[in-house]
Structure 1
């Protein structure tokens, strides 16, 4: 049961968040809430000690502080900040958190360049009739939940809970 939660809940939540952000430019709050609640349930079952669990929540607090600042400066959306915070808890204060954040930054840069390129060609895209969500062509923001999701998928195999589920 514990392995099923580890293998399914985290990736499913990040996939839902990425698709939701792509389609609507919104990440449902329940996705972040499910990530946090499922971590609370699965961490002790996976064998993490109370001290290790505390370091995972410390990772969330550090990421939240940075994300809150970026949100206050209108650089990051609230859904992105909540999703990044909730997912950071799954990585803890380990090298995998740094790996995750590097992946998110890298894929976020690629996503931003792709969106800007798409917007620069919006007249051509609209003329061809391609089914591209309108907000991708006209909004000023970038659906960063996509980069968060891709970064999470790339870094998740080295996360402490995944390693615990695999017996490593």
Structure 2
């Protein structure tokens, strides 16, 4: 029961991050914060043991460190880095690697789609004021939480934590 709630909570929080990022180009700190707190509460039920929990923590810290290196020059947003690190914490090793790689690939696909849509956005029956507040506006940030959540939801069914939850 607890494992099912934790799994649904993880997926729900990833989708919350998408909602906020699409609407405001920000991910509130409470989303990765609740993900981290949720992992701490769920960890005893995951069957990880001390070594597994340590590897999950290490995966989250490594992703956070690499993400901060990309955030420092302004290549990615801070909220994206925190969300990616919180997701890596939940997936642990080695699933965190799959999660990050699929999220990066999904981010590339998202960027190409946005470039195409931005090129044809003027043809849409939307006022320029309304269009200017969306990701379709020229120069608007990319709501990367879409790619991060896609990576999480695509890896989740094959992840070790999913086997623990459904087992």
Relative distance call for 1:164 and 1:109 in structure 2 (3 A) is same
User: What is the aligned partner in structure 1 of residue 107 from structure 2?
Assistant: 108
- 1:2 and 1:151 map into 2 onto residues whose CA distance is 24
**Is 1:129 the equivalent of 2:139?**
no
Gaps of 5+ in 1: none
- 1:16 and 1:132 map into 2 onto residues whose CA distance is 22
State the Cα distance separating 1:23 from its structure 2 match: 1.4
When normalised by structure 1's length, the TM-score is 0.90
When normalised by structure 2's length, the TM-score is 0.91
- 1:29 and 1:156 map into 2 onto residues whose CA distance is 23
Alignment of 1:10-159 (within 5 A): 10-94=10-94, 96-125=95-124, 128-129=125-126, 134-136=133-135, 137-159=137-159
- 2:53 and 2:3 map into 1 onto residues whose CA distance is 17
Give the aligned length: 164
- 1:71 and 1:5 map into 2 onto residues whose CA distance is 32
- 2:7 and 2:132 map into 1 onto residues whose CA distance is 31
Q: State the 4+ residue runs in structure 1 displaced beyond 4 angstroms.
A: 130-133
- 1:54 and 1:133 map into 2 onto residues whose CA distance is 45
The answer as to whether partners of 1:5 and 1:42 remain within 8 angstroms in 2 is no
Report the aligned-residue RMSD: 1.6
